[in-house]
Chains A and B, each alone.
Chain A
Amino acid sequence: MMQIFKSIPENMEANLYLPSMGTITQTHSLTRKEKWYEIQMPETHSFSYKPGQFVEVSLFGVGEAPISITSAMKNPGLFEMTIRDVGVLTENIHALNSGDLIGIRGPFGNGFDLKKFKGKDVLIVAGGIGLVPLRSLIHTILNDRKSYGRLIILYGTKSSQDLLYKSELDQWETHPGIEFQMTVDQPSPDWHGIVGVITTLIPSVTLDLENTVAAIVGPPVMYKFVLLSLLTKGLSDENIYLSLERRMKCGVGKCGHCQINHSLVCQDGPVYHYPELKKLQEAL
């Protein structure tokens, strides 16, 4: 049914596009290109969030961009982001320090549906900065470890200099509740780990196929190969979730930039159940 304007809806927000000011409480560089931030929202604009959701981050005079939340929900209004310097906005955000203000709208998007993961073995496949939103899921699982089965994390980056959250990766390697493997594609001489693209790690992982749910996030080129590899292994479509990157300019389903076929990534995604995603011809 087409909705035609009669009067102002009661639930209408005053201005969907107006950011609230958060304060950077902590920040440090993770690599040459990525920086981590902890943001505290004022009490008047605090919010809860789910792993896989994103916020719209503003720097006035420069612009706004969608950025994944990388932390697990603990205290309302406190969250973390990891931002790669890829353009004018992110370059300017990288120049900010603790105590600086930053514009935030959100959180937006659906996030991972934890009900589908609980009681199951969870396979996390992260390529490059795909680990940023997946870290939110990983932390959420670790905070409620007994509700989940095995936690298998596969992580691949271009080189060892690109590895994010290095001290955490060290903890994951020895954590009794995590089966962690990583690989780099272009190893430097000091790299002693596995070499190859992310799919290198998949064949050797043993999975309880009926009882495993996979969450995949990475660059566009990665999805086809990871999916092929997991499906070949026997994992069914039903057990796969992916998160997509698009240019979500508004976050509220209006601007049209993130649309894939009939689906607006900022509303229906960014996390998609693979059987749904398969119906979207333009998605992968």
Chain B
Amino acid sequence: MSVKDEDKAEVGLRVGSVTRRSFLSQVGAAGVAVTTAPLLARAAQTEEPMTESAGRAERVENAVAITLNVNGKTHAIEVDPRTTLLDGLRETMVLTGTKKGCDHGQCGACTVHVNGRRINSCLTLAVMHDGDAITTIEGLGGPDNLHPMQAAFVEHDGYQCGYCTSGQIMSAVALLKEPCGPKDADVKELMSGNICRCGAYPNIVAAIQQVRQRA
């Protein structure tokens, strides 16, 4: 039985607690095992030891140890210096509420708060934030205790596909503390760094204005 077969066996064992993310990564690994079966067989014959690396973080060369305070919880992690804050949050800390859209600071899907201010987490390195306090959508509120902005987005249907939504909400919450005029046009200007491909803009602006008026 090869290592890959063991992985497949594990998939079966974990069915009860499978998440969408773990499901996808395991299906991916299983898919690789099927399509590369002849290659694996050959590798086994040449006594090349197969490592149990699928789906696990490998030890990185040049890794830097940092501590991030994310949503009030301290995370001591080691990252390759190239790791963006976005990838650190999603891949290392498995906080996947923050989304990767363009990965070039143009779409806003990756918006998080660092020390209380909104930034694009794709255009900054995790190592640059050693000791910083970071808030992601997971830290804002959950299904049972929605942040007023999350509730307003639900009420006003401020999304369609939902991919940009966590970034929109993180931006909108930061906007509440920024200098912003009263008009819809003022909100649109300060939300221009968050693109919604579905075009839910009118509902997003309505949600934000409702929260501002009630604040």
Q: Do A and B come from one complex?
A: no
The interface of chain B, by Cβ under 8 A from chain A, is: none
The interface of chain A, by Cβ under 8 A from chain B, is: none
